[in-house]
Amino acid sequence: MTDLRLDAALLRDLEGFALGVASEAALLIAERAEAGVSATKSSPTDVVTEMDRRAQALIEERIAAYRPQDAFFGEEDGNRAGSSGITWVVDPIDGTVNYVYDIPAYAVSVAAVVGDPRTPGAWTPVAGAVVNPVSGERFWARAGGGASRQRGRLGATRIGVSTQRDLSLALIGTGFGYEPATRAWQARVLAPLLPRVRDIRRFGSAALDLCHVADGSLDAYYERGLNPWDMAAGSLIVTEAGGTVSGLDGAPASRDFVIAGGACANDLNLLLQAIHEKVGPHPAP
Ligand code: IPD
Ligand code: CA
Ligand code: CA
């Protein structure tokens, strides 16, 4: 991990910049959605839109102008090395399938992290924002500064995770990958979990799922297969809202597994570990 001193003023600055640039990109993608999205589909479900690339290019341009010494790591092509120890980890549209189908559950996710975002457990988000342009929901956080949410024109408010301890009363978010083998395995994990919890939600945007854990509208969330850009901003927003984000059994959150939650996160982790032992390992390398 980079030994980088980040003072309070810098963290505030990174947080404000993340929120500003995510909001600008969110407006860009929402305007285009209003005008009709032109999508190209690399497989029936893995949708890559021209807007992913345009929104990422806008964010990258703003970062290069404001903080030229920082590195950039986005979902689309065009990554850049830096010298400051800070890397911007960006998902220009999280919830692409919702975007293409005009379901108002997609967001721009922008985070400043220290360390190497390509190595699980070797990076830490220090500031970030997630903006849903259609609902008007904006979430943001900085290390040590708490997490906030603003809905449309309503004032900003501090958010906190759920205090629900009882898994049988917990509303759990999850998501599914794009590969058929992963989905079949995810279905086998989900089947024994479903009768043990209040209910399951699959909204289709991991970044927003994490923010909804942060504001308590989900009690917890889990998924296999997330990339750093799906979770960088959202995971900081969860931890700053008082929650936990980890992998299974004490491992760091990674592509292998992410569990985020409030008071029921530990029990969910134990239950998912037991389910994994029965179901067996994920089939992919
Ligand atoms: C996806 C969404 C989805 C999650 C997938 C992600 P994308 O990101 O976050 O909710 O289940 O694992 O890949 O493709 O919409 O950016
Ligand atoms: Ca994503
Ligand atoms: Ca995306």
Last residue of a domain, one of 158, 176, 207: 158
Q: Where does the pLDDT of residue 36 fall: very low under 50, low under 70, confident under 90, or very high at 90 and above?
A: low
Tell whether 111 is covered by a domain: yes
Last residue of a domain, one of 158, 185, 216: 158
Question: For residue 56, which ligand has an atom nearest its CA?
Answer: 3
Pick out the residues of the known binding site: 75, 91, 93-94, 230
Average pLDDT over residues 32-38: 67
Average pLDDT over residues 27-41: 72
Tell whether 1 is covered by a domain: no
Pick out the residues of the known binding site for Mg(2+): 75, 91, 93-94, 230
Last residue of a domain, one of 106, 134, 158: 158
Strands 171-174 and 199-201 turn out to be: parallel
For residue 80, the 8-state DSSP code is: B
Give the residue, by CA position, lying nearest to ligand 1 atom 12.
177
Q: Is 173 in the pocket of ligand 1 (CB under 6 A)?
A: no
What's residue 153's pLDDT?
85
What's residue 250's pLDDT?
87
Q: Is 133 in the pocket of ligand 1 (CB under 6 A)?
A: no
Tell whether 214 is covered by a domain: yes
20 with 153, same domain?
A: yes
Tell whether 284 is covered by a domain: no
Strand partners, 149: 139, 157
27 with 140, same domain?
A: yes
What's residue 105's pLDDT?
97
Residue 92, number of CB atoms within 10 A of its CB: 29
Q: Write the CATH number for 59.
A: 3.30.540.10
Tell whether 32 is covered by a domain: yes
Q: Which two tokens stand for residue 138?
A: 């904006």
Q: What is the pTM of this model?
A: 0.95
Q: Where does the pLDDT of residue 37 fall: very low under 50, low under 70, confident under 90, or very high at 90 and above?
A: low
Mutate to test the pocket of ligand 1, among 230, 231, 258 (most ligand atoms within 8 A of CB): 230
Average pLDDT over residues 196-208: 98
Q: Is 219 in the pocket of ligand 1 (CB under 6 A)?
A: no
Whole-number average pLDDT of the chain: 93
Tell whether 137 is covered by a domain: yes
What is the domain extent for residue 176? 167-279
Q: For the chain, give the percent of residues with pLDDT over 90.
A: 83
Is the pLDDT at 157 greater than 80? The verdict is yes
Please tell me the distance between residue 228's alpha carbon and the centre of ligand 2 in angstroms.
9
Q: Is 91 in the pocket of ligand 1 (CB under 6 A)?
A: yes
What's residue 119's pLDDT?
93
Average pLDDT over residues 175-204: 96
What's residue 222's pLDDT?
98
pLDDT tens by residue, 101-127: 889 999 999 999 999 999 999 999 999
268 with 172, same domain?
A: yes
Number of domains in the chain: 2
Q: Write the CATH number for 202.
A: 3.40.190.80
Average pLDDT over residues 137-154: 96
82 with 213, same domain?
A: no
61 with 82, same domain?
A: yes
39 with 146, same domain?
A: yes
End-to-end Cα separation, the chain, in angstroms: 26
Q: Is 94 in the pocket of ligand 1 (CB under 6 A)?
A: yes
151 with 220, same domain?
A: no
Question: For residue 105, which ligand has an atom nearest its CA?
Answer: 1
pLDDT tens by residue, 121-135: 999 999 999 999 999
What's residue 163's pLDDT?
98
* CA of 209, closest atom in ligand 1: 10
Q: Cα separation of 65 and 40, whole Å?
A: 30
241 with 203, same domain?
A: yes
Q: Where does the pLDDT of residue 1 fall: very low under 50, low under 70, confident under 90, or very high at 90 and above?
A: very low
Of 28-37, 170-179, 221-230, 242-251, the least confident: 28-37
Please tell me the distance between residue 207's alpha carbon and the centre of ligand 1 in angstroms.
8
Tell whether 285 is covered by a domain: no
Q: Cα separation of 132 and 151, whole Å?
A: 10
Average pLDDT over residues 16-27: 98
78 with 207, same domain?
A: no
What's residue 44's pLDDT?
45
28 with 123, same domain?
A: yes
Average pLDDT over residues 67-75: 97
Please tell me the distance between residue 3's alpha carbon and the centre of ligand 1 in angstroms.
31
Average pLDDT over residues 133-145: 97
Mutate to test the pocket of ligand 1, among 45, 97, 178, 205 (most ligand atoms within 8 A of CB): 205
Q: Is 225 in the pocket of ligand 1 (CB under 6 A)?
A: yes
What's residue 78's pLDDT?
76
What's residue 268's pLDDT?
98
136 with 265, same domain?
A: no
What are φ and ψ of residue 15, in 5° steps?
Answer: -65, -50
173 with 150, same domain?
A: no
Tell whether 149 is covered by a domain: yes
